[in-house]
Structure 1
């Protein structure tokens, strides 16, 4: 990110599991620290908060004239604690959830963020697995093939994170570099996480969903989207989320998709990191406007199953489940004696959207990703040394996506083909009806047509019944 413009802060950084957003994106998105860097103060429920909430000025982010001068390290624990104390009860009222406990508050500098991130990264992920996930994403063109995935994740976090909440320690950490204008936003978002934790046990909801990345991502959309929507409801005052126009909500997500290449050297990971704060917020806000905060409470009892549901409120309300999809890798393994199945997982609509937006405007990328029904991929270490080809040894990745209609599949095939042409030199792509099969990291010695034919034989899809398929097609027009 050295030569890029500074991105918007990712304020809602919380502890992670080992699955997640296609690999590295989830690690960055849901990382958080497990230990306190120093003793932290506690913000108890405030008896006088109701009076403060009735004061219009007190319910808006503000910068006090006597605050320390801004700059690296200007923010101290006392200032962060005071801001949290000012905001906590007001956030509680905006979210319609009572404060039932205390939230610890502390500050951390950028080197501290990096140190804690590295420590936390390996709580549930080994260095070997992190390198594997990096190689898988490199095979699909999401990160460069010659860069260290650990450094990519740590650089993203050190440069972009403004604050984070740790459910294990019941503590929110605010970057000591956060400026006065941004401070209330960061504290407001993180306090919202503390409120979530009091009522819904965030630690429980962030348990690793190994090999179920898209489902894990859906939870991130809910948790981060709710926290940011709570902050926006507080800022909006008495009108709450009703004051926020749909055009504003749409613009947030489209800006994330369209601007990532400007603010980051790793734009697909940047999109993955920021979409929960944008599209997740939009979905939560729309649901609250329609059905109230009680509908969000209910989502913690029946969690979203896919990022598709959190990208499309109609899919969420209908509880449209992903189409169960797998690939039996046995045939592929037989093509490569000595090969091993290194990884398998789901991508999900959000990850595919992040990839498509790399080659298409947000409007086109969204249309191409909509109609997603399910997906699955496998990654094989073939045993073929590709250094002689002048290529790092990335795994062979074979994936299949299932769509609501043949038309949806054809639209995705066209746009995803453009992505592969630009980002993946050793790829293949094929469509059969409402399914699209892709392969990346194909060794030069392998015939692509034979590889695809073998892969198709291993695809297994448990399709909805005809009535359900007709309903999906009708929704898609």
Structure 2
């Protein structure tokens, strides 16, 4: 899905993990975080201590994860100015970041981002303020920040050095980036994208979840406990991550960014924790790296992954003959369980999201751009995009609940919304006129079809073809690659390093009521 593309893109660049502390909506170059720039650089003695600790912490990481040390890890001290320059350069050059920016208009079309939101400057500010350290799998170097004291960086080192050992085990550059490239131009490429759409995001969640597990164990060392001994700590960390009080920028971020940023850390930790508790360190680390999950569904449902349960994946028929005269292919992907959770929470509230997301049984979207959109301004507008979305649910009641939630959002997404009952073929259709063209919503059994921007006769033809193509039962995702709408964002974000989002990096277990000591 689009989010998976984003998160995946960020994860590829700096390395699987970085630490974020907060966000600011102003671009980095206009409003640097005052609190961060006020901190003095560490002394030479502190830098020497931090460099010395790398090998000691690497030994702990290897013992905790059972991932072997193949060779020592290079280390480098960098300044905030160097971080700023790196992030800007990465956004300009990284292919994942470019895919993320291309996906922005689709996220706005779905209503996951406001139409007037500007993604790039917000993310630059967020990352600059929040990053706490990162391992660069391209240069094989762990980057240490010269304005954070050694004792504060050591837990982050445990996290980042986990990525170093993962890199030595599987080669993170290629392991983390396995999604289909480019725009799908025909039915074969459409379905290749769908078959592999969420894998990058799932792999990011594995990488960050493993690093978070080691991070927790390192922090727990004074207590003699580990995450496997006290699995309730994982849930408490997730609760803390959801609390953005300590991060003003994160608190202002759209729900999409908040959840996609945290997903690899929080849901990834829960996934790894479930395997760790059930089967031990080798299964949770080396075995998962060798046989990673391929979808957000498996990350959110680790029992399904461990049971080798089939992952719901839908197919597209050849719709190009219906579209190619007036439209150019723009994007195709999976609307996965994480996407549904965010979409329903944004449109219907957290209670609705909690109830509906587990009932998801597959989803696919297709976006095309009108050939009449010629100028850059026209191409960047959601009005240039026509969108279809087909979702399957475990039962008809859940399908109808999702349809109600989605329909209620139409007047908030568009202006000039008028329902046209006379144009509705039966009680299972809803037809609207909007400022961006016709909207058709329809339901049949456990399936919900949405068309936004295609003219009504064409929308019905697309629906009938798509519904008739679906198999009766779920299909196992065939490839190792995947692109889920929102998770592209998660993949892109996680590539910039470990984040301090919602206070995860500052968290300590000592002195907290009810925590193991």
User: Do the two structures share a fold, i.e. TM-score over 0.5?
Assistant: yes
The answer to whether structure 1 residue 233 and structure 2 residue 217 are counterparts is yes
1:75–1:107: 8 Å Cα contact kept in structure 2?
A: no
Secondary structure (helix, strand or coil) at the match of 2:179 reads coil
Report the CA distance shift for 1:318/1:383 in structure 2 as closer, same or farther (over 3 A). same
Secondary structure (helix, strand or coil) at the match of 2:227 reads helix
- 1:156 CA drift (Å): 3.1
CA distance in 2, matches of 1:207, 1:174: 25
2:205–2:264: 8 Å Cα contact kept in structure 1?
A: yes
The answer to whether structure 1 residue 120 and structure 2 residue 90 are counterparts is yes
The answer to whether structure 1 residue 102 and structure 2 residue 110 are counterparts is no
Structure-to-structure mapping, 1:27-46, within 5 angstroms: 27-32=9-14
Report the CA distance shift for 1:121/1:192 in structure 2 as closer, same or farther (over 3 A). same
The answer to whether structure 1 residue 461 and structure 2 residue 470 are counterparts is yes
In the other structure, the counterpart of 1:269 is: 257
CA distance in 2, matches of 1:178, 1:320: 44
2:259–2:342: 8 Å Cα contact kept in structure 1?
A: yes
The answer to whether structure 1 residue 220 and structure 2 residue 204 are counterparts is yes
Q: How many pairs align?
A: 407
Secondary structure (helix, strand or coil) at the match of 1:220 reads helix
In the other structure, the counterpart of 2:27 is: none
2:362–2:391: 8 Å Cα contact kept in structure 1?
A: yes
Secondary structure (helix, strand or coil) at the match of 2:225 reads helix
In the other structure, the counterpart of 1:54 is: none
- 1:222 CA drift (Å): 0.8
CA distance in 1, matches of 2:133, 2:400: 42
| Partner deviation per Cα, 1:237-285 (whole Å, 9 max, x = no partner) | 3432133343x43344455557599624333122101111001101101
2:155–2:218: 8 Å Cα contact kept in structure 1?
A: no
Which of 183, 186, 192 is equivalent to 2:153?
183
Which of 399, 408, 413 is equivalent to 2:389?
399
Structure-to-structure mapping, 1:427-442, within 5 angstroms: 428-440=440-452, 442=453
Report the CA distance shift for 1:206/1:335 in structure 2 as closer, same or farther (over 3 A). closer
Report the CA distance shift for 1:198/1:213 in structure 2 as closer, same or farther (over 3 A). same
Which of 316, 322, 329 is equivalent to 2:311?
322
| Partner deviation per Cα, 1:316-353 (whole Å, 9 max, x = no partner) | 1122232231233627x736842111111123212322
Report the CA distance shift for 1:149/1:452 in structure 2 as closer, same or farther (over 3 A). farther
In the other structure, the counterpart of 1:242 is: 228
CA distance in 2, matches of 1:461, 1:255: 41
Compute the TM-score of the two structures, normalised by the length of structure 1.
0.74
Secondary structure (helix, strand or coil) at the match of 2:111 reads coil
| Partner deviation per Cα, 1:200-249 (whole Å, 9 max, x = no partner) | 32223112402433221111111110110122123333432133343x43
Secondary structure (helix, strand or coil) at the match of 2:346 reads coil
CA distance in 1, matches of 2:411, 2:94: 35
- 1:452 CA drift (Å): 4.9
Unaligned runs of 5+ in 1: 1-18, 35-68, 467-477
| Partner deviation per Cα, 1:74-121 (whole Å, 9 max, x = no partner) | 477545423423322122222223322111222333443343234334
Q: Which structure has the higher relative contact order (CA within 8 Å, separation 6+)?
A: 2
